[in-house]
Amino acid sequence: MDKRNAMRAGAVSAAATLMMLLSSPAFAATGNSTEEQASGLSVAQSLGLFVATPIVLFAIIAGLVMLGTSSGNKAKAKKK
């Protein structure tokens, strides 16, 4: 049992180390100085991306959760 736990811990730490190494800045793509800079987002695009999108996602997830809980309550009421 101890050997199995040691193997699992070794595999997890190896995977974590590999992920850390792959995400290091040394592997980041560097741009050429001859390439043009990409244009930034407008104010409306930024608000849509960072404000409206999370609110819409929250509303969708909350709606799905409420839908699931309300149908569960109806099923419990019918069983009684």
What are 14-58's pLDDT values in tens digits? 999 888 877 767 656 666 655 666 678 899 999 999 999 999 999
What's the whole-model pTM score?
A: 0.45
pLDDT value at 80 more than 60: no
Look-up of token digits 């009421």: 77
Helix ranges, the chain (H): 2-22, 43-47, 53-79
Residues 8, 2: Cα–Cα separation, whole Å: 10
Residues 56, 75: Cα–Cα separation, whole Å: 29
